[in-house]
Chains A and B, each alone.
Chain A
Amino acid sequence: MRDTMTNRECENRIRTAMTHAAPDRLESILSSCTEQSDPVVDVLHSQEERSTKMMKKQKEKVFIAVFAAAAALMLCISGFSLFGQRGGQVDSIILLDVNPSISLSVDEGEKVLAADALNEDAKEILGSMDLKGTSLEVAVNALIGSMLQKGYLGDLQNSILVSVENKDAARGEELKQKVSAQIAEALRTDSMDGAVLSQTVNAEDTELEALAQEYGISIGKASLIQEVIGQDSSLTFDALAPMTINEIALIASSRNVTQGQGTITQSGSASAQAYIGVEEALAKACAHAGVSVNDIYDREVEFDSERGVMTYEVDFKAGTVEYEYDIDAVTGEVIRFTKEDEGTAGGHHDDHHGDPGTAGNSGSGNTGSAGGSGNAGSYIGEDAAFAAALAHAGIADAQAVSGKKVELDSEDGVMVYDVDFMAGTMEYDYEIDAATGAVIWYDVENEGVTVNSSAGGGNTGSAGGSGNTGSYIGEDAAFAAALAHAGIADAQTVTREKVELDSEDGVMIYDVDFMVGTVEYDYEIEAATGTVLWYEVEDEGASGKRTGGNNAGSGSGSSNTGSAGSGNSGNAGSGSSAAAYIGEDAALSAALTHAGITDTSSVREVKKKLDREDGREIYEVEFKAGGREYEYEIDAYTGQILKADIEADD
């Protein structure tokens, strides 16, 4: 009954099967991608309709007035200069940011010496326009006209940032006011409510320069972002850099940034028409949380961005529970949420695979249950979910539990509470139906048998020394750790097959294989700590014959004496070795009792097997019933349920 496949072979077969099953749609994909990247298109949320909606709506408008005027003027000017030949030296730089970013270099007489596109969108705006030699006023009008016409400015995205660089602060300020007034006027002519943000920037600011370079944005936009994040430290440059000026302005103003802060002047307000609105966002979050809008307090809704997508960040409390949602501002979709029950404070979670020496119990937090159920709407609440899990696990004293974590989650569209906790060395993982409190799935594992041969812990005794490569425990210690875990005291009975240093996804491990009699052990031991990461024990011989457990060797055959007792009580272990096993039938009946199945006619595909795990004899019992698949591990002496795994049989 040797497994025919190693892990690697198994992986290879999976890969081959997927490769064969995968369609070849390349042609169809390539023929569908005609237009490249639209600036408003969002990568991760696929809302093509988002951008097309936005663009369409704006393109429908005809912005003849401004554009035609600008074009006419340009024609006039191309022949002669209005300002004569003064200087030709760059005096000021005017940066216009919408999403297109354009830089205009002008001389003292406000004649345009150069117009540069700073991003791809700007190239589209500049097109074949030759603004060199025109007046600043004409150039600005032409650019605004083009942005309106091409849909970069419109009812949904109505904000523009004007930044002026001039060594002379007063002159810079003057130009800033002049240009922003002109733009506001141009937008008004088009009966549009625009928002014009303006600022002067310091040409000498190398930090800004570096930021602009790094993110590929204009110094003006970099300065705006710096200003905004300077006032709200929860925002980041990374998050804001890909956003349009309108989006940044919205985020800033929803967080009371910008206003009255000297450096940036704003006229008009940024358009939020493209988005679902604060009330709607709140409603979506509440619906998702299963609470009524009327029952919440401490609410706060602000604009934010997630990976280039506008979101509403919705915070509120209901009962003792604090919710935080990110809602897609266009679609209302819940992008992310977190939930914390303040009633149970801490939520301390420790990683059980860490160093057992320190992981111990450094701060099991969890001040008793407290608070009023945090129950709201249609879900039972975290406290009730936790209680349900405890009851199921048969733990009466919640104080005995550490590392508690309760999170609302969605599993295949069903809302569940994911409840994790430790009791003693047992790690419990539950999924509780958020609406009914029913245990949907659970997993109990004994983590206690971790071995730490370096410092502290000292579970192993021997471990120690030899060929200790660098910071690893060494092959001998790894082997000893595996033996200790397997409960094998006498190394003489062991056929050591393999101890190999290996890397499992960047974690260095010792792969330890050995045999005891017909039983094959396969261990993965963390090389740095000696922790057992994974193991498998399999009897290659006829099922039944085992080597003994702890001290008293001689495994007293399998000879399953009936006795049917479902004996589902005692706290097991306690070296009751020599005693006869309860038998497969009793094990099955214990499992059925546990599963609450009385009608055995509905039970299908029953598998029963005596096996050995953690140095302890167990029955592995599997069956299907009522649309579910049950997997049990049952102590072979006591009938105690050691592990149960229940899943939908799909």
Chain B
Amino acid sequence: MLFLTTLSDSSGESDKLENCIERIAKGEKSALGQLYELTGSAVYGFALSILKNRHDAEDVQQDVYLQIWKGADRYTAKGRPRAWIFEITKNLALMRMREQKRTVPAEPEDWQEMWADVPAVDHEDRIMLKALLGSLTDEERQIVVLHAVSGMKHREIAVLLKLNLSTVLSKYNRALKKLREAAKGEAQ
């Protein structure tokens, strides 16, 4: 999980993802591994931004890839592999949320501690995660994570989250502003 996850906006990236999905449909496990490397942290991030709970997000992430493994042959959204993957993520995350109404999102004090046992998460990451979870609305967080981590275009995000493009743009900008302030305040 080191060399990955910068999904740039290039269409080459989409082709690569689509190619993975096609090969997964044929039963190639290595392609699933490749897709996981390419999209794993974005899927996790999006799930986390919906669920606000690390463990639920981890479970959903796993379910997403199992779903993709089983359903790759049903992939029909030609040219929009990310939209497909995140639609699955969204559905699974929302389903999980409904299933477990009891899953209360963690308390703000816990956000920095949530990854205490993950050595890869450094001080700066903790500040950012706390800012993401603590200072943004759900929608802002989802928009920011989808754009920054998955490289999804604002237009695609608008479709996925059923929002106007202008709404996505303004929320995105507002969210980044809030994040900067939150991170700045935290760092002081």
What is A's interface to B at a CB cutoff of 8 Å? 3-5, 7, 10-26, 28-30, 32-33, 36-38, 41-46, 48, 120, 238, 242, 307-308, 333, 351-353, 411-413, 429, 441, 445, 504-506, 533-534, 536, 647, 650
Contact = CB atoms under 8 A, between A and B. Distances in A.
Nearest to A215: B76
7 contacts: A5-B184, A16-B125, A17-B126, A25-B65, A32-B62, A33-B29, A46-B95
A11 B91 contact: no
Contacts, number: 187
Contacts of B149: 14-15, 18-19
A256 B94 CA distance: 35
A650 B184 CA distance: 19
Interface string B44-68: 1100100000100010011101110
B49 to A, nearest CB: 9
Contacts of B75: 43
Contact of A534 (B5, B88, B101, B170): B170
Given A20-B125, A506-B153, A533-B169, A25 B180 contact: no
Interface centre among A46, A351, A533 (most CB of B within 10 A): A46
A270 B44 CA distance: 41
Given A25-B62, A506-B153, A19 B169 contact: no
B180 A43 contact: no
B101 A413 contact: yes
A20 B118 contact: yes
B17 interface: no
B184 A36 contact: no
B129 interface: yes
A650 B135 CA distance: 8
A141 B36 CA distance: 45
Contacts of A46: 63, 67, 91-92, 95
Q: Which residue, A20, A36, A44, has most C-beta atoms of chain B within 10 A?
A: A20
B82 interface: no
A11 B71 contact: no
Contact of B155 (A10, A44, A505): A505
B20 interface: no
Contact of A28 (B40, B44, B62, B165): B62
A36 B27 contact: yes
B70 A38 contact: yes
B176 interface: yes
Contact of B41 (A18, A48, A441, A445): A18
A34 B76 CA distance: 23
Given A14-B128, A21-B121, A22-B44, A505 B154 contact: yes
Given A14-B128, A44-B88, A505-B155, A23 B61 contact: yes
Interface string B129-141: 1001010011000
Most B Cβ at <10 Å: residue of A4, A18, A647:
A18
A5 B187 CA distance: 12
Contacts of B87: 44
A20 B121 contact: yes
Contacts of B155: 505-506
- The 9 A-B residue pairs with the shortest CB-CB distance, nearest first, are A43-B71, A22-B41, A17-B125, A18-B45, A11-B148, A22-B44, A20-B120, A17-B128, A33-B69
A127 to B, nearest CB: 18
Nearest to A647: B137
A3 B62 contact: no
Interface in B137-177: 137-138, 144-145, 147-149, 153-155, 164-167, 169-170, 173, 176-177
A308 B65 CA distance: 18
* Central interface residue in B97, B125, B134, B148, by most chain A CB within 10 Å: B148
Contacts of A36: 27, 69-70
A32 B125 contact: no
Nearest to B124: A13
Contacts of A20: 115, 118, 120-122, 125
B105 A650 contact: yes
B132 to A, nearest CB: 7
B121 to A, nearest CB: 5
Contacts of B154: 504-505
Nearest to B42: A18
A112 B101 CA distance: 58
B72 A37 contact: yes
A536 B175 CA distance: 13
B19 interface: no
A308 B71 CA distance: 10
Given A20-B115, A21-B41, A37-B74, 9 more contacts: A10-B180, A13-B183, A16-B125, A37-B70, A37-B72, A41-B71, A45-B91, A46-B63, A46-B91
A24 B101 CA distance: 26
A278 B154 CA distance: 39
A28 to B, nearest CB: 6
Nearest to A36: B27
Given A3-B184, A44-B88, A46-B91, A22 B128 contact: no
Contacts of A12: 148
A534 B108 CA distance: 30
Contacts of B113: none
Nearest to A3: B180
Nearest to B153: A505
Which of B25, B120, B122 counts the most chain A CB atoms within 10 A? B120
Contacts of B138: 411-412
A37 B128 contact: no
Contacts of B41: 15, 18-19, 21-22
A14 B73 CA distance: 33
Nearest to A241: B76
Contacts of B32: 29-30, 33
Residue of A307, A504, A505, A647 with most partner-chain B CB within 10 A: A505
A583 to B, nearest CB: 24
Contacts of A14: 45, 128, 132, 144-145, 148-149, 179
Contacts of B179: 10, 14
A22 B179 CA distance: 20
